[in-house]
Amino acid sequence: MRLDRLLAGQGTQTRKEVRELIRKGRVTVNGQPEKAADRQVEPLTDVIEVDGVPLRVREHVYLMLHKPQGVVSATEDRHQPTVVDLVPPELRRKNLFPAGRLDKDTEGFVLITDDGAFAHRILAPKNKLPKRYTAVLDHRLDPAVIGEFEKGVDIGGGDHTLPAELTILENGENPRVSVIICEGMYHQIKRMFERFGYQVIYLKREQIGGLPLDPALPKGACRELTDEELRRLEEKEGEDAQ
């Protein structure tokens, strides 16, 4: 991997800032100053330091992706673009996969990783990790539906959801609502609203656990998560996670 790509991939500096550090001789590889930004390095075996501080390279990759509509939550697809296709070369690793799925027409936060154990903790139903969504409906919402969501909803096909939190953000011709669920059944939110005669015309995942989607991250872009963000990702409580 190129030295500048490795350093920029740590998420603390831009590629331009990294190249300036390298130009000034503030980066060493195996004890020697390195001024070539395109130097090929091996992250797990070369000793890389910035201002004398060793670079801690993660064994695994954890990415926040802002999924746009029209992209499928899969590792590969012969006919449609996938979330993994959106990962830039400097962040690519073997065996990347989306930890959890969003429908093709749903936008928002998708976690991409190569860490199967971490993904299992995020996805395991027994952990009841909350996920928050914003939805837009096809007509004015009866506030009584809030109580129905709190009890859990029979969505057909033998599926009955856990209690969910429904909040009306704007109620009008096309109401905007917030929904927090702790599981991920097929088309779950759409089926919950359909049970009461509503169609979801827009859906976006805003948050996983205690970590919201970065508002500065454009659609189709992704970035690495910090250690603090990884910790927040697994939170079940707190003001944001409800």
The residues carrying an active-site annotation are: 103
Q: Are strands 159-160 and 165-170 parallel, antiparallel or unpaired?
A: unpaired
Query: 93, 114 in Cβ contact below 8 A?
Result: yes
SS3 (DSSP) at 193: helix
Question: What is the secondary structure of 89-141 as a DSSP string?
Answer: GGG--TT-EESS---TT-EEEEEEES-HHHHHHHH-GGG---EEEEEEESSPP
- What single letter denotes the amino acid at residue 15? R
User: Is residue 148 within 8 Å of residue 196, measured between CB atoms?
Assistant: yes
Containing 120, the helix (H) or strand (E) segment is helix 116-123
SS3 146: helix
Quote the CA–CA distance of 241 and 239 in Å, as a whole number: 6
Distance between CA atoms of residues 178 and 159, nearest Å:
22
The length of the chain in residues reads: 242
Round to whole Å and give the CA distance between 180 and 160.
15
